Chains A and B, each alone.
Chain A
Amino acid sequence: DAGITQSPRHKVTETGTPVTLRCHQTENHRYMYWYRQDPGHGLRLIHYSYGVKDTDKGEVSDGYSVSRSKTEDFLLTLESATSSQTSVYFCAISRGQGSNEKLFFGSGTQLSVL
């Protein structure tokens, strides 16, 4: 498996609290992504990064922010968590975004917002 570490693996928090999820890679890949996975919705892109300090929104970015200060780290922040943000969050990486680039996924973070 690709060198991708997500932390924490599990998180329970209360509505209105801030939460930060971390993705760390050892592959020196340029692109990093945050997805959420929910029953009936599959994988939906939240935000992605194409380099240090370069990020863009995905399909479901409302309520989330990201930062990438180093190539290896991509942080996802929920400024004020809501119950609708209860989900499994996956980080993914790829070398590029061209037509031949495949994604490598981390093991996921199960987030429960009570």
Chain B
Amino acid sequence: GQQVMQIPQYQHVQEGEDFTTYCNSSTTLSNIQWYKQRPGGHPVFLIQLVKSGEVKKQKRLTFQFGEAKKNSSLHITATQTTDVGTYFCAGYTGGADGLTFGKGTHLIIQP
């Protein structure tokens, strides 16, 4: 079945440093979605990428979808304490599998 690998599993940064998490799929994706889960909370949808090579920005967050539509990244510039949480990617192939989630990257920020 479809697999979505996400790295790193954990990332410690000093407040103000940048952060990046990467997703790789074993198969070509129709789209990829990103979710954020605050500690003790539930996943919340951030964004969806559909086109090959697509780049989208949300304030300090930059999302990219690879040219082959098999990988994606989320980059946060100048992290703040409000960025703490787990970031999940979720890939969609269009088949019966639906969305397949990566295992997430836990972002820990030290003030």
CB within 8 Å of B: which residues of A?
40-45, 48, 56, 59, 90, 97, 99-100, 102-108
CB neighbours (8 Å) of A40 from chain B are: 9, 103
- Nearest neighbor of B33 in chain A, beta-carbon distance: A102
CB within 8 Å of A: which residues of B?
1, 6, 9, 30-31, 33, 35, 41-45, 48, 50, 88, 90, 92, 94, 96, 98-99, 101-104
User: Are A48 and B98 interface neighbours, CB within 8 A?
Assistant: yes
Q: Which of B1, B31, B35 contacts A99 (CB 8 A)?
A: B31
CB neighbours (8 Å) of B92 from chain A are: 99
- Nearest neighbor of A91 in chain B, beta-carbon distance: B42
Q: How far is the CB of B9 from chain A (nearest CB, A)?
A: 8
User: Are B101 and A43 interface neighbours, CB within 8 A?
Assistant: yes
Q: Which of A56, A90, A99 contacts B30 (CB 8 A)?
A: A99
CB neighbours (8 Å) of B45 from chain A are: 102-104
User: Are B50 and A99 interface neighbours, CB within 8 A?
Assistant: yes
What are some 28 contacts across the A-B interface (CB < 8 A)? A40-B9, A40-B103, A41-B103, A42-B88, A42-B101, A43-B43, A43-B88, A43-B104, A44-B101, A45-B99, A48-B98, A59-B1, A90-B42, A99-B31, A99-B94, A100-B31, A102-B33, A102-B45, A102-B48, A103-B33, A103-B35, A103-B90, A104-B45, A105-B44, A106-B42, A107-B41, A107-B42, A108-B42
CB neighbours (8 Å) of A44 from chain B are: 101
- Among A41, A56, A90, A102, chain B packs the most CB atoms within 10 A around the CB of A102
Cα–Cα distance between A97 and B33 once the two chains are bound (Å): 13
CB neighbours (8 Å) of B43 from chain A are: 43, 90, 103, 105
User: Are B88 and A100 interface neighbours, CB within 8 A?
Assistant: no
